[in-house]
Amino acid sequence: MTRLRLGILISGRGSNMQRLLDASSEPDFPAKPVIVLSNRIDAEGLETAKAHGVEGMAVPHANFETREAFEHAVDTALQAHGVEIIALAGFMRVLTPWFVRRWQSRMINIHPSLLPKYPGLKTHARAIEAGDAEAGCSVHWVTEGVDEGGVIEQARVPVKAGDTPETLADRVLLAEHELYPRALAKACRIISERPAR
């Protein structure tokens, strides 16, 4: 079985990243994490990656004059590690069309809503405000429009009476942890089964 070399991009806590690393420790999981990159030097997830024996690297966006210069540095690190698929896991920077095109059909993201509902931020508050009976999370291919790419897999949770954005976020996060490894495995299979270019 082909195991695709996985790069994970984070900005903070990294609980989804941790679930991907846990899943990847199974020998038949179709991805092998080779690097975790953070745009924030103080991201908790960098330590978690190191504890799992995966290289964690900070590329602080604030050190670069332009978005493109930051992304070139990220891209160089990914290429140097032979990355074949990128999973964004709580990576909170919007990517430029240059980077998105470079990794087209090889980059996925997890988003805390049932896309196409609620792209962008404050997804849980918006679901509660709208009176939705259910919320959830989506894993999708990354395209130039923010949170607009094709959905790979979704998971649903109920919105309960009295939910706050925080209680709903906790319930959705548990669903994310279950969803992301499954959706990453599916994306790897899709990539591996594509005819070689």
Which residues of the shown chain bind ligand GAR in the complex (CB under 6 A)? 10, 12-16, 89-90, 110-112, 173, 176
E strand segments, 27-161: 31-38, 56-58, 85-88, 107-111, 134-141, 151-158
What gap in Å lies between CA 120 and CA 151, rounded to an integer? Answer: 15
- For residue 141, the minimal CB distance to ligand GAR (Å) is 14
Nearest to 175 by CA among 147, 139, 128, 123: 139
- 52, 72, 111, 124: the catalytic one is 111
59-74 as b/e: b if 16+ CB within 10 A: bebeebeeeeebbebb
- For residue 18, the minimal CB distance to ligand GAR (Å) is 8
- Report the residue number, 13 or 117, with the smaller CB distance to ligand GAR: 13
**74, 52 contact by CB (below 8 A):** no
Q: Does the active-site annotation cover 177? A: no
- Report the residue number, 7 or 112, with the smaller CB distance to ligand GAR: 112
- For residue 77, the minimal CB distance to ligand GAR (Å) is 19
- Report the residue number, 16 or 24, with the smaller CB distance to ligand GAR: 16
For residue 37, the 8-state DSSP code is: E
**138, 113 contact by CB (below 8 A):** yes
- For residue 110, the minimal CB distance to ligand GAR (Å) is 5
Q: ∠ CA(51), CA(52), CA(53), 5° rounding?
A: 90
Q: Which two tokens stand for residue 180?
A: 């992301």
- Report the residue number, 148 or 194, with the smaller CB distance to ligand GAR: 148
Q: Which residues are catalytic?
A: 111
